[in-house]
Amino acid sequence: MDTGVIGWGFYVPDEVRTNKDLEKIVDTSDEWITTRTGIKERRIAPPEMAVSDMGVKAAKKALKKAGLTPFDIDLIIVATITPDMFFPSTACFVQAKLKARNIACFDVSAACSGFIYALKVAKGLIESGSYRNALVIGAEKLTAITDWQDRNTCVLFGDGAGAVVLGPVKKGGIKSVYLGADGSKSELLNMPGGGSRNPATHETVNQGMHYVKMKGNELFKFAVRLMAESAYKALRKAGLDKTDIKYLIPHQANSRIIWATARKLDLEKKQIFVNIHKYGNMSSASCAVALCESLSSKGVKKGDNLLLVAFGGGLTWGASVIEVS
């Protein structure tokens, strides 16, 4: 038996913040944001809503689609860089809220590549024979670590969650996952405050160290190259060629990165899944939500090969070929 996606669902908060709304907060314009990023609006979770709350809403939909109950789940992995707390893991909060059994629960931190990292871990654990059904969630409340006075970053991010149930499938499923990282480039994208390097103090708060810091245009150059390379490596691992791919589901960081990656892979516009205009960059949740939306779209059928590819802080990157089961 192979491991495949047997259920999926996503959740985004109701509150929409448009580019026009941001014009009132920082020195920016709808025109700049749209042309430089492709983003028109993003979703904002209310103050009382944490990442596990969004993850649970997505997970319930995924379980329903799989025809399973929380009792059937053997493993929960949450990919996130905005956990409810440093510890316990957000996966433990999800388990408690779902009333799942006392199964293994943990988080994966790989920024925007987190969902693909989590897929690889869950697939490996299922195929080792340890577990049968895994709940894999990509969920973020990036707006909680966004500096709303920094126009370089605040126009980019949004909140949301996507969840899949992985389980045994007779045909298709996750054909390959390729992962990579380069920790020497960590200064390009990070949140310096709050960890053991810079524990929270009045000073770290005053210096804005609990917000995302990003060197956007330096990241941009790596993004296009690494997304395309990762895609080719995942294809090779799966024994496939780019002509075997029906849809590319790229991380939604910037539409220019998405289209440049598509060009490098020589794919047609209609093959590229894009939702960045609605949600912005939701880090670990971006690929998860995009996968869920594409699986629910009319164009995607059983037997189609989907190519997920992501890139993010770490630096981390990864790609996965999934045959729709």
Question: Known catalytic residues?
Answer: 112, 251, 281
Instruction: Name which of 76 and 223 has its Cβ closer to ligand ACO.
Output: 223
Q: Which one-letter DSSP state was computed for residue 272?
A: B
CA 76 to chain centre: 16
Q: Residue 221: helix, strand or coil by DSSP?
A: helix
The structure tokens listed for 3 are: 């491991």
Binding segment toward ligand ACO, per CB under 6 A, in 61-69, 147-155, 194-202, 236-244: 147-155
Instruction: Name which of 89 and 252 has its Cβ closer to ligand ACO.
Output: 252
Instruction: Name which of 140 and 323 has its Cβ closer to ligand ACO.
Output: 140
308 strand-pairing partners: 249, 320
10 strand-pairing partners: 162
Binding segment toward ligand ACO, per CB under 6 A, in 58-66, 197-205, 217-225, 299-307: 217-225
Answer yes or no whether residue 228 interacts with ligand ACO by CB under 6 A. no
Q: Which one-letter DSSP state was computed for residue 14?
A: S
Instruction: Name which of 31 and 203 has its Cβ closer to ligand ACO.
Output: 31
Of residues 252, 281, 294, 325, which one binds ligand ACO by CB under 6 A? 281
CA 308 to chain centre: 10
* Minimum distance from residue 200 beta carbon to ligand ACO (Å): 20
* Minimum distance from residue 301 beta carbon to ligand ACO (Å): 31
Of residues 23, 28, 68, 103, which one binds ligand ACO by CB under 6 A? 28
- One-letter amino acid identity for 128? S
Q: Which residues within the stretch 153-192 sit at the binding site for ligand ACO (CB under 6 A)?
A: 155, 189
Of residues 50, 116, 119, 223, which one binds ligand ACO by CB under 6 A? 223
C-alpha to C-alpha distance for 33 and 36, rounded to whole angstroms: 5
Answer yes or no whether residue 128 interacts with ligand ACO by CB under 6 A. no
Answer yes or no whether residue 312 interacts with ligand ACO by CB under 6 A. yes
By rule CB under 6 A, what count of residues binds ligand ACO?
A: 23
Q: Which residues within the stretch 250-269 sit at the binding site for ligand ACO (CB under 6 A)?
A: 253-254, 257
Answer yes or no whether residue 152 interacts with ligand ACO by CB under 6 A. yes
The residue nearest ligand ACO at its CB is 216
Q: What residues contact 217, with CB distance under 8 A and at least 6 apart?
A: none
Backbone angles phi, psi at 157, to 5 degrees: -105, 155
Q: What residues contact 63, with CB distance under 8 A and at least 6 apart?
A: 7, 9, 69, 70, 72, 73, 98, 135, 165
Contact 252, 286 (CB under 8 A): yes
**The residue to which tokens 């791919």 are assigned:** 245
Backbone angles phi, psi at 87, to 5 degrees: -150, 155
Of residues 37, 89, 146, 325, which one binds ligand ACO by CB under 6 A? 37
**The residue to which tokens 């931190």 are assigned:** 109
What is the contact surface with ligand ACO in residues (CB under 6 A)?
28, 32-33, 36-37, 111-112, 151-152, 155, 189, 216-217, 219-220, 223, 253-254, 257, 281, 283, 312-313
